[in-house]
A and B are shown apart, each in its own frame.
Chain A
Amino acid sequence: MYVIAAGGGKVGANVARSLMRLGHEVTLIEQRRDRFERLEDEFEHQVHRGDATEIYVLERAGIARPPDIVLALTGDDEDNLVICQLAKEKFGVPKVIARVNDPRNQAHFDLLGISPTICATSSIMALVEHEVPEHDLIHLLELRKENLEIVEVQIDRDSPSAGKRVEALELPEGSRLISVMRSGQAEIAVGSTLLEAGDQVLAILEPGKEDELRRVLLRR
């Protein structure tokens, strides 16, 4: 596959190297001279110097072929957005992946239909919440395109759902239990699955149904 990666910082350089090791053809674009010169020692003709939001720079990197995927990995969210828009809409690149540096800019990527995105800060925050839960309902994954999210709930002794079968719960519409984790063993949640105190339950639901789900499982 042919990949154009914009941004030759740590993220871009490591991604480019990993893709090349897998045998893919990669062109990396880096704007800063000092970085470019260091990258050139390693990547030779596979790194181009220039501003990847400039159309002629993208063209020189072979965007008109077009590549199978463009990765917008610079440290600037506005640049990453424009790179993805140019790739998709001007050059018909079938797939893009954008790095989001400031999680507050995620809404702009969503608004302009740039997906998937990856944000290190958001991922770390989700892990922190998973490892040291502050809330009784932990967001594990947001499926933006599907408008669904996956959450984890811990059932305890006082929970109204403890001792009940899944089919007996009046789960809110637009939600479903996926699995139950009990003493290190996970099983898929079906109607006859019996919930017990200490269970970690994964659920999939539409955003906004969290409170209803919390009430049914935990009464909080």
Chain B
Amino acid sequence: MNLLVIGCGRVGSSVALELQREGWDVTVVDENEDALSRLGDHWPGRFLVGHGMDTDLLREAGIEDADAAVVSTNGDNTNIVIGQVAQKRFGIDCVVVRVLDPARADFYAARGMRTFCPTKTAIDGLTEAVRACEIPVKVSA
């Protein structure tokens, strides 16, 4: 199965490595060629330098044959637009899009986009972690 990862930061690179190990054929796209180093010294997949808004580059990266796409650049709106292009122009069903802003993540999720919001996960996790603390009751002297 073919996976296209757009945006090779901490998140994108880790997803690419993880799914590559599970047997996916992974192509990674990033604006910055230094991002390749995040994939380690022996990246067996393809890596293309360019902007994810560039449809020619997406075609070169094999988007027409992709079974899934992960959109994880550092811009929410860039991800939202690329995600819709992957879904609507190239007909990929499994498009997963990183959106940091919970409000936009909800809005686009309601319109059928698989958004993933790390901010919301952090808010829930941190809130739960505080609740789970056992705070010793202070005894006033």
Q: Look across to chain A and name the residue whose beta carbon is closest to the beta carbon of B80.
A: A82
The answer to whether B81 touches A107 (Cβ under 8 A) is no
The answer to whether A111 touches B107 (Cβ under 8 A) is no
The answer to whether B77 touches A107 (Cβ under 8 A) is no
Least CB distance from B58 to A in Å reads 11
For window 126-142 of A, CB contacts with B under 8 Å fall at none
Alpha-carbon distance A142/B104, docked complex (angstroms): 33
Q: Look across to chain A and name the residue whose beta carbon is closest to the beta carbon of B76.
A: A53
Least CB distance from A70 to B in Å reads 15
Q: A54 at interface (Cβ–Cβ under 8 A)?
A: yes
- Which B residues are CB-close (under 8 A) to A89? 111
The answer to whether A108 touches B81 (Cβ under 8 A) is yes
Q: B18 at interface (Cβ–Cβ under 8 A)?
A: no
Alpha-carbon distance A77/B107, docked complex (angstroms): 19
Binary interface profile of A, 47-82, with partner B (CB < 8 Å = 1, else 0)?
Answer: 000000111100000000000000000001111011
Known A77-B53, A82-B77; judge A53-B104 contact (CB<8 A): yes
The answer to whether A55 touches B53 (Cβ under 8 A) is no
Number of A-B residue pairs at CB separation under 8 A: 46
The answer to whether A54 touches B53 (Cβ under 8 A) is no
The answer to whether A111 touches B89 (Cβ under 8 A) is yes
The answer to whether A76 touches B77 (Cβ under 8 A) is yes
- Which A residues are CB-close (under 8 A) to B75? 78
Known A55-B103, A56-B103, A90-B107; judge A108-B53 contact (CB<8 A): yes
Alpha-carbon distance A108/B86, docked complex (angstroms): 11
The main secondary structure of chain B at its interface with chain A is helix
For window 43-81 of B, CB contacts with A under 8 Å fall at 53-55, 75-78, 80-81
Q: B88 at interface (Cβ–Cβ under 8 A)?
A: yes
Q: B15 at interface (Cβ–Cβ under 8 A)?
A: no
- Which B residues are CB-close (under 8 A) to A76? 77
Q: B93 at interface (Cβ–Cβ under 8 A)?
A: no
- Which A residues are CB-close (under 8 A) to B92? none
The answer to whether A86 touches B76 (Cβ under 8 A) is no
Alpha-carbon distance A144/B54, docked complex (angstroms): 21
- Which B residues are CB-close (under 8 A) to A14? none
Interchain residue pairs A-B with the least CB separation, the first 5: A78-B77, A55-B103, A82-B77, A78-B78, A78-B81
The residues of B with any CB-CB pair to A shorter than 8 Å are: 53-55, 75-78, 80-81, 84-85, 88-89, 101, 103-104, 107, 111
Besides A53-B76, A108-B53, 19 other A-B contacts (C-beta < 8 A): A53-B104, A54-B104, A76-B77, A77-B81, A78-B75, A78-B78, A78-B80, A79-B77, A81-B77, A81-B81, A82-B104, A89-B111, A90-B107, A107-B55, A108-B85, A111-B84, A111-B85, A111-B89, A112-B84
